[in-house]
Structure 1
Amino acid sequence: MPTFLTGLKPTGDLTLGNYIGAITPLIERQNNDDNKIFLFVADLHALTIYQDPKELRKRIRNFIAMYIACGIDPGKVTIYIQSENEYIPAITWLLECTTQYGEASRMIQFKEKSLQNKNFSVGLLTYPVLMTTDILFCDAHFVPVGIDQKQHVELARIIAHRFNTKYGKTFILPEAIINETGMKITDLKEPTKKMSKSDINPTGVISLFDDMNTIRKKISKAATDSDSKIKYDLKNKPGISNLINIAVFMSGKKIDEIENLFANKSYAEFKNFVADQVVNKLEPIQKKYYQLLNNQELDKILDKGIFETKQIAKTKFELMKQKMGLER
């Protein structure tokens, strides 16, 4: 049975890009009974930079409620909070002792973020090893990620292979699935960069928690160009191309259908259409989200998920200890 793992870090609100690029493909995969799927909130990963404890706690629950409101079925997907599984940090230490410093320090994200802030935490360096634990403890075959995380999955594969070579077969070698769809959804204000939940400028980001009027305002103010043609051209018309991508996903229409539909219409009319499609999709999701948020059923789902993943992680941890000579 192929196993898939997806985790999202609660460092900002879930965005339209997350919905299109990460959550929707997961919904499609859950409908295949041959797939085993794990979905988690990567709250330990969030701690590489300071997080306000109250905000972090709130955001973790928001994420879980929004996953389910979007269509994730807890009967088909194991949903859990990373920090509730104490075996994950324990496995991470064993894997850190199997990882070379040069491998961790060569990670592109570490290089970029350590240059931005010289007072970075050790957690920023070892972050990819924690991600390796997330992947390996549950024997994930496939890890859907953006291109910026591909290198981390490759490192997980290297670490797994090294551990297997030293201590005997213990881990499956995972593969990254590059999320091409999500990469197409970019910032509304700066359409050459991706729409990020960690962006300090919220005007270019559609949050799944934005009210409908805010969504309409953000789309109406989205960057376009001096031309008046509604045509898909990523190089010369990145703003309009981004809006077309959003319209395609939300409406189910093809690019050429969108272009033909708005061949003789204004940017304002097109933006209204895009906003209508987004609102029509997100309004019922938000309604369900607010119904779930303070529902005890959410806690039952999380209890079930952490019980299952703790058993899996404990078994893997005990196997690693035995192979590494850490038994009495």
Structure 2
Amino acid sequence: MKRIFSGIQPTGNITLGNYLGAIQNCVKLQNEASCDCIFCVVDQHAITVRRNTGALKRSTQETAACLISAGIDPKNSILFNQSQVEEHIKLAWVLGCLTRVGWLNRMIQFKDKVGKSKDNASAGLWCYPILMAADILAYKATHVPVGDDQKQHIELARDIAHSYNFEFGTEFFPLPKAEILSKSFRIMSLCDGRKKMSKSDSSDMSRINITDNVDTIAYKIKKAKTDSYSLPSEASGLTGRAEAQNLITIYAALSNKSLDAAILEYGGCGFGRLKQDLTELAIEVIRPIGLEISRLMSNTDYIDNVLEKGSVRARALSKPIVREVYDTIGFLST
């Protein structure tokens, strides 16, 4: 049986891109009989960059509420927040001692995030991939659903797992595989079709948040950047037209159609009709989720209870795995 581990950071509003690119796919995986699913709100990863730490608890609850509202069932899957399970950090130190500095220096996301300010970046941001590996290996997860931008982190987790197995002459850790999701549906910014839709973008107009109301969704789609040409009738006509491709892609993803089918539907049309249909479809899909998030967040006791129960189940899985690692290393336990 496949054991799925998926982590999502509580770093702000969950966007339509997060939902279409990751969350709805996790819901589908959860409903596969052959999958054992673990979903983690990775709040310890969230402090690798400066943020309003006073809002972290609320963001953690909101992220959990979003996952539940989108269809993650905490009875069938394990849902918890990372900081409640100490095995993640305990394993990360051991794995860090097996990780080569050169491996971390090659991580593209670190370079992208720090730019020319490498010396001012936190050590936590640099070591982030080790903790991510520990998140996965603490449960002996076999598959990790990620986008293309996270694939390198899974490759590093495989290298670290292999390093441990080789060091101690064992096959203790499986080598996790990246389960690449939504290859055809990468959702980009509404302001710049060349940039990924991001909850950390300084402009709220660049994204549709799952919690946006009807008027806000309609306004953002109306103002979404376009070009002055009609929509093409085939995919090749989208070359060099990032914004057109993005809006067609969002429509295709929300309507569960292929990109080619969506293009045929709007070929030769202007953006007005597409934006109108996209607005109606986005509201139909997103608003029920947003309303359920608001209901859950009106009394967070339920969310806290779900995360507490989930952390108990997560510890039951990870504790014996990490204990065996500690025994193998030779740590004294009295």
Matched-pair contact (CA < 8 Å) for 1:104–1:125 = yes
DSSP 3-state at the match of 2:291: helix
CA–CA separation in structure 1 for the residues paired with 2:258 and 2:89: 45
CA–CA separation in structure 1 for the residues paired with 2:127 and 2:145: 21
Question: Displacement, 1:295?
Answer: 4.7
CA–CA separation in structure 2 for the residues paired with 1:113 and 1:253: 34
CA–CA separation in structure 2 for the residues paired with 1:29 and 1:87: 25
DSSP 3-state at the match of 1:180: coil
For 1:8, the equivalent position in structure 2 comes to: 8
For 1:151, the equivalent position in structure 2 comes to: 152
2:316 maps to 1:311: yes
CA–CA separation in structure 2 for the residues paired with 1:181 and 1:158: 24
Gaps of 5+ in 1: none
Pick one of 236, 239, 264 that aligns with 2:240: 236
CA–CA separation in structure 1 for the residues paired with 2:161 and 2:47: 25
Query: Structure 1 vs Structure 2: percent identity of aligned residues?
Result: 35
Pick one of 298, 302, 317 that aligns with 2:303: 298
CA–CA separation in structure 2 for the residues paired with 1:281 and 1:318: 44
For 1:218, give the aligned amino acid: K
Matched-pair contact (CA < 8 Å) for 1:128–1:152 = yes
Question: Displacement, 1:269?
Answer: 2.2
For 1:56, the equivalent position in structure 2 comes to: 56
1:76-108, Cα deviation, whole Å (9 max, x unpaired):
211010111112111111111111111112111
For 1:38, the equivalent position in structure 2 comes to: 38
CA–CA separation in structure 1 for the residues paired with 2:65 and 2:82: 16
Question: Displacement, 1:299?
Answer: 2.4
CA–CA separation in structure 2 for the residues paired with 1:47 and 1:270: 40
Q: How many residues align?
A: 328
Q: TM-score, normalised by structure 1?
A: 0.94
Q: TM-score, normalised by structure 2?
A: 0.93
Matched-pair contact (CA < 8 Å) for 2:144–2:154 = yes
Question: Displacement, 1:183?
Answer: 5.1
CA–CA separation in structure 2 for the residues paired with 1:309 and 1:283: 31
Task: Sort the Cα spacing of 1:266 and 1:58 in 2 relative to 1 into closer, same or farther, 3 A.
Answer: same
DSSP 3-state at the match of 2:5: strand
Matched-pair contact (CA < 8 Å) for 2:89–2:131 = yes
DSSP 3-state at the match of 2:230: coil
Question: Displacement, 1:32?
Answer: 1.4
DSSP 3-state at the match of 2:209: coil
DSSP 3-state at the match of 1:40: strand
Question: Displacement, 1:266?
Answer: 3.2
For 1:145, give the aligned amino acid: V
CA–CA separation in structure 2 for the residues paired with 1:236 and 1:225: 11
1:49-84, Cα deviation, whole Å (9 max, x unpaired):
112122221111000001011111112211010111
For 2:85, the equivalent position in structure 1 comes to: 85
After superposition, residues 220-259 of structure 1 pair within 5 angstroms as 220-229=222-231, 231=233, 232=235, 233-259=237-263
CA–CA separation in structure 1 for the residues paired with 2:266 and 2:149: 34
For 1:222, give the aligned amino acid: A
